[in-house]
Structure formats: structure tokens, C-alpha cells
A and B are shown apart, each in its own frame.
Chain A
Amino acid sequence: MQAKAQNEMTRNHQPAPFDEDAALMFQVADGSEHAFRMIVEKWQRPLMNYFFRSCRDAHFSEDMAQQTFLNLFRAREAYAEYLSRDIPPEKPKAKFSTYLFRIARNVLITEYRKKARRPAEAMDPSEMEFGNEVSESSSVAELEEIFYSSVERLPENHRTAILLLKQQQISYEEIAEIMKSNVQSVKTWIHRARAALRQALQNAENPEKGK
């Protein structure tokens, strides 16, 4: 009873949480399982989308999403402490989604390195070959297959940047924060990703022209 009252008191002294999820994270740090489940249920699909478009393996995506949530859970107290900290107004606190996707990206990079499927950021999009795999009249399913395979082959930073922008509808500024970079670099990566994907689609639609 006394501990509960103390928790309530601590919570009342904390600054207003940045967003709804941040408020839930305060409760998770206080030991609320229900709050954590709400976060998992809300964010499982966006995370799965992000991971699946990066590796196209449903089981691997689920594993990585689970690892992301577990890392988030481990960091619950540190995150609550970060939110409670006094930070100058000119440097506002990161949104929950920024925090979550930063963890997710770290998990993705770590898992890729573990699997040694491909060193992160090592693949040059110009090395991609599609001509041999594609028949002249690509069906929609084939086009889709080629498209997602080219997304997977993008350099990690290009792929993450374009997925966060288009799939997760995250702003350039937030993407820069997630990827520990700046807005200009993010725009460049997205531009390059788009150029590589356009090229892949053109080659798929017209294999002769692509050769």
C-alpha cells in the first residue's frame, strides 16, 4: 500500500509524458504488465512490417520484433528516467516511436551481422541483376516479387530510411534521429533508394532495355 502510494507520488512529480506511449512506458517502469501488453499490441504490426520488408521472412521478422520488445522492456526504467530528466526546451525529448525504431534498427543490424547474410550497407544497388530472372511479360506477382527483393537488397540505411518514411509515415527529422544522422543524409538515402527501385521496376517491365 505504502509502495503504491509512493509510486503514485513519484508519477505525479514526473513531467507530463511526451505522448500516450511514453505515458504507458512510465506504467511499465512501475511494473504494469497491462501497459506493456498495450504497447506490444499497438506496435507489433508496424514493427513486423518494417522487419518483413527488410528480410522477407515472417519467422525471422517475428523473432526480431520480439527481440525489439524485449530490449524495450529491459530499457523501461532507463527510458522512464530519460523522460523525467530536465532537458532544455530547444532540444525536445524524442518521441516513443523514435526510441522504438532505433531499438528495432539496432536489432535488425545485429541480427544481420549474426546471420552474416550480408554485411550491413555493403551492397551497391548497381550490382543488382534482374534481367535473367524476369520473363518479358512480368505478371503483377512477379513484379511484386522483384520489387520486394530489390527493397531487401538496398543498402541497410537506404532501405530503413525509405521504409520509415513511406511505410511508417515518420518525418525526415525523426528518421534522422532514429538513424543518428542528419536530415540531408536521410533525403539523399531516400533519393538513392527511390532511384534504385525505379531502375529495378523499369528492368522488370522491360528486361531488354535494362541490359
Chain B
Amino acid sequence: MKNAFALKGNSDATENARLDAIIDGYLEAQIPPPSPLFADAVMAAARIQAQKDRNSDSLSDSLLSRLRDFPAITEETMVRLAEMKSSIGNSILAYSSAAAVAACAALAVFMGTANATLPRGVVSADDFAQMSKIDEEINGIAALVIQEEFIDLLGKKR
């Protein structure tokens, strides 16, 4: 009886070894190479991506330079924002929303300071126009952020 079990075990092991050799042979087989244009297609897509990254960089740099106009934005905040720029990669949306939050805070502080300490009419028409323009841009960015959040939410619910 014991011998019968041993014999069965040996035969199973031999059969498994035979099947494993077939499995390994199939798994290690190479498929034909991709089309010769494959690398070119990847490089073209990468070039487009690089261009997008450059555009994002210039947009975020422009946002950063505008923030410098606000006296409430300290050098320390600018440094932090510049650090964030590299740590969040190339996501202009996330970066813009952070910059927008900073700008909103700065605008609120600036307006508060102006209202509390300066008599009416000290903020010039030009300054006011510039602040309104920046406010509109912030609203635009906020709308984009909300839209993105909404799309994400829809994606998660699916």
C-alpha cells in the first residue's frame, strides 16, 4: 500500500514536471516586436506632454509673479509656493488652486487692512481694477477646481 502511494507520488511529480516544462516554454516565448513606428509614436506623445509641462510652468510662474504684487504675501509664502510647485509635479490645477487660496487670503488681508486703516478713496481706480481682475481670475480657477472635484466624484461613484 505504502509502495503504491510512493509510486503514485512519483508519477504525479513526473507529470507535473512535464506540464511545468510546457508552461515555462509558453510563458518565456517572445511575441513579435511592436511596429517600427511604436517608438516614434511614444516620442511624439512625450513631446506633447513636455510642451504641456512647459505651458503649465509658465502659467504657474505667471501666477506666482502676480502674487508678488500683494504686500500681504511674504517672501516665506512665496518660497513655500515655489517648493510646492516641484513637489506636486506638473498638476497645474492643484498648484493653481493652492496659489488661488493664497491669493484669496492675501486679498482679504489687504482689503481688510485698507478698509480699516485708510480713508475712503485711498485705493486708486487702477489698483481697484487690478484687484477686480485678479478676483475674476481667482473665481475662474475656483470654478475649474470645483469642476475637477465634481468629475472625480462622478468617477468614484461609477
Are the chains A and B members of one assembly? yes
Interface contact B30-A70, CB-CB below 8 Å: no
Partner-A contacts on B (CB < 8 A): 16, 19-20, 22-24, 26-28, 30-31, 33-35, 38-39, 41-43, 45-47, 49-50, 86, 89-90
29 contacts between A and B (CB under 8 A): A31-B50, A33-B46, A36-B46, A37-B43, A40-B39, A40-B43, A44-B39, A44-B42, A45-B30, A45-B34, A48-B31, A49-B31, A52-B31, A65-B34, A65-B38, A66-B38, A66-B45, A73-B46, A73-B50, A77-B89, A77-B90, A81-B86, A147-B22, A147-B23, A166-B24, A166-B27, A198-B19, A201-B23, A202-B19
Partner of A36, one of B19, B28, B31, B43: B43
Interface contact A66-B20, CB-CB below 8 Å: no
Q: Assuming the A-B contacts A44-B34, A201-B22, are A162 and B27 also in contact, with contact meaning beta carbons closer than 8 angstroms in the complex?
A: yes
Q: How far is the CA of A62 from the CA of B45 in the complex (A)?
A: 13
The reply to whether the CB of A112 lies closer than 8 angstroms to some CB of chain B is no
The residues in A between 28 and 68 inclusive whose CB is less than 8 angstroms from any CB of B are 31, 33, 36-37, 40-41, 44-45, 48-49, 52-53, 58, 62, 65-66
Most buried by A among B27, B39, B45, B89: B27
Q: In the complex, which residues of chain A have a beta carbon less than 8 angstroms from the beta carbon of B23? A: 147, 166, 194, 197-198, 201
Minimum CB–CB distance from A11 to chain B (whole Å) comes to 17
Q: How far is the CA of A81 from the CA of B85 in the complex (A)?
A: 13
The reply to whether the CB of A163 lies closer than 8 angstroms to some CB of chain B is yes
Interface contact B49-A33, CB-CB below 8 Å: no
Minimum CB–CB distance from A62 to chain B (whole Å) comes to 6
Partner of B34, one of A48, A78, A166: A48
Q: Assuming the A-B contacts A62-B34, A74-B89, are A144 and B26 also in contact, with contact meaning beta carbons closer than 8 angstroms in the complex?
A: yes
Partner of B45, one of A53, A70, A151: A70
- Binary per-residue interface labels of chain A (152-182) against chain B in the complex, 1 for a CB within 8 Å, 0 otherwise: 0000000000110011000000000000000
Which chain B residue has the least Cβ–Cβ distance from A28? B46
Minimum CB–CB distance from A66 to chain B (whole Å) comes to 5
Minimum CB–CB distance from A198 to chain B (whole Å) comes to 4
Q: Assuming the A-B contacts A48-B34, A74-B89, A194-B20, are A163 and B43 also in contact, with contact meaning beta carbons closer than 8 angstroms in the complex?
A: no
Further 8 A-B residue pairs, CB within 8 A, beyond A70-B42, A151-B27: A41-B39, A44-B39, A62-B34, A69-B46, A74-B89, A78-B89, A147-B26, A201-B19
Partner of B30, one of A41, A44, A49: A49
The reply to whether the CB of A99 lies closer than 8 angstroms to some CB of chain B is no
Q: In the complex, which residues of chain B have a beta carbon less than 8 angstroms from the beta carbon of A70? A: 42, 45-46, 49
Q: How far is the CA of A44 from the CA of B32 in the complex (A)?
A: 11
Q: In the complex, which residues of chain B have a beta carbon less than 8 angstroms from the beta carbon of A163? A: 27
- Binary per-residue interface labels of chain A (181-211) against chain B in the complex, 1 for a CB within 8 Å, 0 otherwise: 0000000000000100110011000000000
Q: How far is the CA of A91 from the CA of B66 in the complex (A)?
A: 43
Q: In the complex, which residues of chain B have a beta carbon less than 8 angstroms from the beta carbon of A77? A: 86, 89-90
Q: List 9 tightest A-B contacts by C-beta distance, closest first.
A: A166-B27, A198-B19, A73-B46, A69-B42, A52-B31, A40-B39, A40-B42, A197-B23, A147-B26
The reply to whether the CB of A130 lies closer than 8 angstroms to some CB of chain B is no
Q: In the complex, which residues of chain A have a beta carbon less than 8 angstroms from the beta carbon of B39? A: 37, 40-41, 44
Which chain B residue has the least Cβ–Cβ distance from A66? B42
Q: How far is the CA of A40 from the CA of B43 in the complex (A)?
A: 8
Minimum CB–CB distance from B44 to chain A (whole Å) comes to 10
